[in-house]
Structure 1
C-alpha cells in the first residue's frame, strides 16, 4: 500500500533531486528546480483561479515550518468570509515572502560588494530606489506584468538608457527571488517575447543634431584610438572636452596651459555667447595633447597635412565615420555628454551646462556670478573621461 502524500519525510525532502513538484498534502508542494534549488509552494483556488503562493526556500524553511504556513493559508481560506491567504500572511512576523524592497536590500547587501566600481554600486541602489518605487511595498511573489509596466511606462521614452538599466535590474532581482524559492513561473520583467511587445521600441527624441547614445560612446572611443592619426586625435579631443568642431579644430598652443591642464578658448571663437571659455583638460585629453606638443611645428594644435595650417573638417568627419559615427553627428556628442551627466551623475545641471559653455540663468543671475566653477567642472570632465575610456565601466 502506498503511503499518503502528507507523510513526506525530512530525509526525503533533503534527498529530492531533478525538476519536479512533490506533493506534501493539503495544497502544499515541494518544488525542485533543474538546478537543484528547492522551495515550498501552496496551491489553492481563489476567485475562479488557481494561483501559487511561495512559502519560502528550503532549507531556510523546514518541512515542519512549511506545513505550519500551509495550515495558516488553509485557515484563511476556511474563514468567514474567506481571506486570500497571500493577504492573510502579509505582515505576520513569520511571513515567508519579503517585499520587493526588502528582497532588493538583502540582495544588494550580499552582491553589490562584488562590483569593483563604486559609481556602479551607487547607480544600482539609486535607480532601484527612484524608479522601482511602485514595487517597493509589494510582496515579491505578487509582482505581475502590470506592476513592472507601472515603473517603466513613465520613463521608457524620456530616459532611454536609464529605463533599460532599471528594467534589467528588476528582472535580475526577480530571477534571484525565483532561485531562492520566493517566486514561480515566468519573470514579468523579461524582455523577449513579453515586455518587448508591450513597451515597444523606444522612440528616439527628435534632435537637430542626432546624438550617439552615451552608452555607445566608450566603444566609439576605442575604435577611434585604433586609427592613430591627427584627425582621430581631434575627434577624441572633441568628445572629451565637449566643445564644437570649429572650436577644437582652430585651437592653438598659445591657448593651452599644459602645466595647469587648461585650455582657454577666446571669446571670438565662442559663437553665440561671445565669452571666453575655460576648458579643464582631463587625463585622457592631456594624453592626446602631450605627443602633439612634443612634435609641434606650428601654432595649431591639430595641424593640417604636412604640418601646414589647421586640420580641415573632411578628415575629421572621415575618422568619425570610420569609428562608427554614421547616423549621428559630431555636434551630437555634446548632447551625449549632457544626457550622461543628467542620468548617470549627481553633478548639478548648471555645472554640466557650463561645461558646454551654455548660458546659465538670466542676465541678472549671470551678472552676479563671480566664477565659472572651474574645479567642479574639472571633476565632471574627469568623470566623463573615465566613462568614455572605460575606466568607470559597469
Structure 2
C-alpha cells in the first residue's frame, strides 16, 4: 500500500495501492487516481480524479464504493447511461489535458504552441468527436495534409494527440490505453533530415556580416548580427531586455529563467556588439522593454532572423548554425581551450565530477575570445587569436 509521502514523491509511471487502485504519474508530474476492475469479463479503468485534489484516503474510499457498485451491477448501469453524456469531445479533453500538465513546463512559448498546434491542425478534423470514439484512422486522416509538408511539426502533434488520449484513459473517458502505433504506417515515409541546424562555413561568415551591415537598420537585421557576434541562441537574443545590459562595462547578464540549462549566463560583449546595442538604445521606446523589437513589447518571431537569411538567397542556412560556425572557427584558427569555448556557448559539462570542481566561468578569457571572433568577422585590424 502507498503512503501519503510516496504519493507526493512518486516518479512517472503506474503505482499500485492495492485492490485495483493505482496512482498514475505522468512525466510532467501530474498525478491521477485510477481504479482497474473487471466488468463483464473485460478489464476497464475508471478515473477517480486528480491526486492533488483527491487525497489517498478519499481515493481508497471512492475505489471501494465503486467496486461494490460494479459488483452489484449498478456501476455498469451508471457507466452505460449517464457517463456517456459527460464524456468530453476530443477538443475538450485536449484542453483539460493541457491544463493538467502545463504546470510542469518552464517555456511559456511551448505551453502556448502545444495547444495551438492541435487547434490549427487536429480540432478541425476530430475536435468535435467524443474522445472515446477517436480512432487511429481518424488521427491518420487529420495528419495526412501536414505529414510531408511540415514533418517535424506533424510528429510533435502526433505525440500530443497520444498524450491527450492517455490522459483521457486515466480520467476514464477513453476505454483503453492509446498506442497510435499504426498511424505512421498508414502515411508516407517522411524524408530523413540529416541536419536540423545547417551551419555556414566559418570562412564565409565575414562576407555575410558585410552583406548584413549594408542592409537597412531593422530589428531583424540587428538581432541576427547580434546573435552571430555573441554566438548565442536566437531566443536569448529575441527576449533580451534592456535591464540585462551594462553597456559601459560591456556585459550582458542573462537570467537562468531564459537559459536552456537553467543557469545564469554572463556574456562579455565585443565592441561591435555594443555598437549594435547603442544603435538600438537610441530607438528604444522604454528603458525596460525588449531590445530587438519594433515597439519594445512584442518579441520578434522565430522566423524574423531566418527571413533575413532567406532574403539574402540563403535557403538552408539556420540561425542556430552560427554557433557551429563559431565553434569550428575557434577550433581551427585559435588556441583557446575547448572548455573556454564551451563556456562561451553556455554548454553544460557532461562529466558531473568535472562540473563540480570547475567553478570558474573563464570570463576574462571569454572576453578575449569574443573580441577575437568579432575581429575575424570584421577584419579591420590585426587581432590576436591566442589565449
TM bracket, shorter-chain basis: 0.3 to 0.5
Compute the TM-score of the two structures, normalised by the length of structure 1: 0.45
